[in-house]
Structure 1
Amino acid sequence: MAPAITLAADAPTLSAANTGFMLICSALVMLMTPGLAFFYGGMVRVKSTLNMLMMSFISLGIVTVLWVLYGFSMAFGTDSGSVIGWNSDWVGLSNIGLTELWDGYTIPVFVFLVFQLMFAVLTPALISGALADRVKFTAWALFIALWATVVYFPVAHWVWGSGGWAFELGVIDFAGGTAVHINAGAAALGVILVIGKRVGFKKDPMRPHSLPLVMLGAALLWFGWFGFNAGSWLGNDDGVGALMFVNTQVATAAAVLGWLAYEKIRHGAFTTLGAASGAVSGLVAITPAGGAVSPLGAIAVGAVAGVLCAMAVGLKYRFNYDDSLDVVGVHLVGGILGSLLIGFFATGKGQSDVEGLFYGGGLDQFWKQCAGVFGVLAYSLVVSAVLALLLDKTIGMRVSEDDEVAGIDQAEHAETAYDFSGAGGGAARTAAGAPVAPAESKKVDA
């Protein structure tokens, strides 16, 4: 048969609407990293608050620069062996035209690359929650650079890059169940197995110091996640992005209810920390699945994730690994659940015609999802552990025990999150408004 002739009129043209939509989505995904910083920052003790914030914020700096230099080329360049990409014209982003379109879409390459950049920034930041209270900031910064280079960029190519083995196999990952959440969760487990537990783990109380900050962070994550998920369709022309938007909301709501119900039955209370964690577990689980399932399927995905992730966070006490802020329990477990449940709940009426077991499609897609899930998990777990071991044996990954006990904020950043000495609003003043010395201040206050 003669090849089809593509007329110039049939070629994609730049869509101002889709371009604007994707730029907004990119900004929403960027907001997720500061949102994560607040979420994690509220969950730690006061003495680690700033370090937790900085562990997320530094990813914005490091990964952005690496993405420009070579990361985008490695993740989305021409495939080599189904494991890595490369395009020398994209090194430094110096040979990309302003209106050059991403292949097959109506948005510029620059828009696609900045959207994907925000995913690359967020993913290593997710790992940081497992390492709270005990990692040198310099070692963490070097870990981000190395991990992004040898783990995230290749895995992104596997999952989303044309020619990547998972992409070609037909593994469905709408917005990052494997490439982001399983990848980060497995990496977190690999690192904490190397660096060990916090001083006082399972002995000292390590409760969140600011639950309002946790709730604020969760709200920002939930808000930003609409860009993360709906934007991953790279346009807004056929309704799939809208389906993903709806499913993101529905699954997250169901996960909140599932987590709280389990918590009430198991522990006797509905906690704000549980509500926030439940929301994140639902967001994680629907990320790979939301374009393939119906809203009813999204309720099932969210409810299952909410209950099973709530159960999974307690495994660290049973198996004695110190996942400080439950990255393994929420992101690894939630990512696995969301990815595998596609094999059961895919309707064939969303992003593709692939049907899951419950819609007459058999288990074919489920086995494909298993390959993607466990391939990424094994690679990230092993390589991340090796990187942590390398850094630990050279520059050292952990702060000293004295610095950890006294507070990593002071040791690594020479700051504290809250200055209680200034609670009165600054230097006391006389009635005339002039500042007075401390001794005189006491007399005035008296």
Structure 2
Amino acid sequence: MSMGKQGPKTAVPRLRFPEFHEADSWKPTKLSELLRERKQRNRDLKFGTGEVLSVSGEHGCVNQIELLGRSYAGASVKEYHVVETGDLVYTKSPLKKNPYGIIKENKGEPGIVSTLYAVYHVTESAHSTYLDHFFSRDFHLNSYLQPIVRKGAKNDMKVNNSAVLSGEVLAPNKLEQKKIADCLTSLDGVIAAQGRKVEALKAHKRGLMQQLFPREGETRPRLRFPEFRNAPEWSESRLGQLVELQSGATPSKANPEFWNGNIPWVSAKDMKQLFLEDSEDHISSAAIESGAKTVPSGSLLILTRGMTLLKDVPICVVRRDMALNQDVKALRPKNGVESMFLAFLLIASKERLLAMVDIAGHGTGKLDTDGLRDFGLAIPKPEEQQRIADCLASLDNQITAETARLAALKTHKQGLMQQLFPVAESVAA
């Protein structure tokens, strides 16, 4: 069957606010009808740090600000673009998620950016925050910029600032733009508030742990639960007296029967959270029969070799029987030692553990096993261990729940944007 002639592209979003149900379909609009480039430059402008806009700043603009007021390519930077509130700024800085650069609205006070950037102000047909949300999605930004990208002499991405306005975007009338922008901005506020709640809980936990565990060289914490305020001081001990250390191993990669079974096999890449329910790699019962060993649920794992040790000492608690590779040590608590208490105690002692990390071959971090055994700790009686563990575990559960809510809000926003922003389709002529 032959296809009819295709007419101009048009679109209707899958989700539309009630007052726009009968409005016209969205049609492609030249970005030059929505934005105008500010081409004026300001010479020898004096500025303060509060006037320089940054991608990491509260105004949400662009980076490379380190070039301002400094020299580059043998020339001093003496010219700047002034950015007004509501202007959009485009930077060609290559980023992992945005290889062609970023376009962001200046939501704050007027400021300045390098002339390496393009600065655009909105026309009467556009709403700046709508365009900020529209270009915040990688799909819209990258798919829009990709056709006008040119590779420079060093194979880097080049986009002519004026050419940025040459393409077409889907945009409704300004009233509908504003409605979409207000909706997404409101949701951003909810997401930001939830993010602050999660960070506040994490900060509270860090502060509480500093109070609940004694400082190095001390045997009495600054904060104690009422029922233990008159209890004896904590007993000084060594980690090797509190746990049995067990090493891991890697079954032969040459034997496929040892792999892809149902037994989790933990390596450094899995140790990104406190509780481990599973791992990326698995071994088989044949590997266990050939000498690989598992550790029981409740065991602690600590990374003893790897690049990660240069900045962190991962500590995990396994929630099921698991095997581990040779870069990980299992700590199996002895009688009288509550595993969750010990996990939190070691987490509270990470600065001291990090200080023990040596540099092995190829710059890899290494924790000496004998040094771990000799690592000094103070612990209370089992009853107080359990009380502290229960308190911190409860706070951890709250943090996990609030973090899940934050992730759900972000997923909801992504889905909502997919509904609010349509994809153009050709209509038959």
Instruction: Give the TM interval when normalised to the shorter protein.
Output: under 0.3
**Higher RCO, Cα 8 Å, sep 6+:** 1
Structure with more strand by fraction: 2
TM-score normalised according to structure 1 size: 0.21
Structure with more helix by fraction: 1
TM-score normalised according to structure 2 size: 0.21
